[in-house]
């Protein structure tokens, strides 16, 4: 598990938050984590020695071996009693590096990339995606979005049993820690965005979002099938099935 050693108290708290999410699967978690937890107490100077490094390495090792990583319950996920839960958080590195994305685009990209990675495992099952970016909850329902967000929203509609759920940043400890702690960057402060910042696009041309998708090679065949299925155009942005 590639996770850098903490260099300050905030980073220790982030790692402990990540590890604590799985503490019921780690035998003797409190004893193993004790040296790290001690550093988070008030009036305690930060000193990273062999004892702290050993505690850190042992916890990391515990997170990537059985029983933390085990075969999922596919039957329960498909029937919906135990849906797959996917936690996401935006990050300006990795796939989003050198892209001038808004916060909503970054958060949406996190969801899309996660689903692409997990598609083989979760397709056909009930999925609950948890994010600390509230505007994503209505992403699949919004009609006035940028072309890019429309493409991502359509991609997510492949998963018929997918629900996006908002959780406050302080509860998104796993994704939050992983999204900002990496080998070539320091952990920063968490910024929680609650107010909706979904992009509104002023359409000054007669071209609709459906026309733009039809011109996209990736979605062209889908649009052609929609037209062949008897769906007719009511207005600039409204389509309904012909009865």
Contact criterion met (CB below 8 Å) for 150 and 200: no
Highest-pLDDT range among 15-29, 60-74, 171-185: 15-29
The whole-number pLDDT of residue 203 equals 39
d(CA 52, CA 32): 10
Nearest CA to 206 out of 233, 239, 236 is that of 236
The whole-number pLDDT of residue 56 equals 93
The whole-number pLDDT of residue 115 equals 93
DSSP secondary structure letters along 41-94: STT------HHHHHHHHHHHHHHTSTTTS----HHHHHHTSS-EEEE----SSG
pTM of the model: 0.52
The whole-number pLDDT of residue 169 equals 67
SS3 105: helix
For helices 29-39 and 9-20, what crossing angle results, to 10°? Answer: 160
Greater confidence (44 vs 93) lies with 44
pLDDT at 22 over 50: yes
Tens-digit pLDDT profile for residues 108-143: 998 999 999 999 889 989 999 988 888 888 776 766
The whole-number pLDDT of residue 190 equals 40
For helices 147-156 and 103-122, what crossing angle results, to 10°? Answer: 20
4-8, 179-183, 214-218: which has the minimum mean pLDDT?
179-183
pLDDT, mean of residues 7-35: 86
pLDDT at 227 over 60: yes
d(CA 127, CA 159): 8
Tens-digit pLDDT profile for residues 152-199: 888 998 888 899 988 876 666 666 666 555 445 444 444 333 333 333
Domains assigned to the chain? 9-63 (no CATH), 74-180 (3.30.420.10), 209-241 (no CATH)
The whole-number pLDDT of residue 194 equals 35
The whole-number pLDDT of residue 144 equals 75
14-18, 213-217, 223-227, 233-237: which has the minimum mean pLDDT?
233-237
pLDDT, mean of residues 227-242: 55
4-13, 59-68, 144-153, 182-191: which has the minimum mean pLDDT?
182-191
Greater confidence (212 vs 206) lies with 212
Identify the band that residue 207 occupies on the pLDDT scale cut at 50, 70 and 90. low
């Amino acid at each position: 598990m590639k996770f850098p050693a903490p260099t300050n108290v905030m980073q220790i708290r982030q790692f402990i938050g990540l590890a604590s999410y799985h503490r019921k699967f780690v035998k003797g978690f409190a004893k193993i984590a004790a040296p790290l937890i001690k550093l988070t107490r008030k009036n305690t100077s930060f000193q990273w020695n062999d004892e702290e490094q050993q505690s850190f390495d042992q916890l990391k090792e515990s997170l990537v071996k059985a029983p933390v990583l085990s075969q999922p319950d596919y039957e329960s996920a498909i029937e919906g009693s135990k849906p797959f839960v996917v936690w996401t958080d935006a990050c300006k590195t990795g796939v989003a590096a050198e892209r001038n994305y808004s916060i909503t685009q970054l958060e949406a990209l996190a969801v899309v990339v996660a689903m692409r990675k997990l598609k083989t495992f979760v397709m056909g099952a009930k999925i609950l995606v948890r994010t600390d970016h509230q505007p994503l909850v209505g992403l699949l329902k919004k009609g006035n979005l940028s072309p890019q967000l429309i493409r991502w929203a359509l991609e997510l509609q492949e998963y018929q049993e997918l629900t996006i759920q908002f959780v406050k940043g302080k509860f998104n400890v796993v994704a939050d820690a992983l999204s900002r702690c990496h080998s070539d960057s320091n952990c920063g402060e968490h910024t929680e965005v609650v107010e909706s910042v979904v992009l509104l696009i002023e359409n000054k041309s007669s071209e609709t979002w459906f026309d733009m998708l039809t011109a996209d090679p990736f979605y062209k065949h889908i649009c052609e099938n929609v037209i062949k299925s008897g769906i007719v155009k009511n207005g600039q942005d409204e389509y309904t099935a012909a009865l």
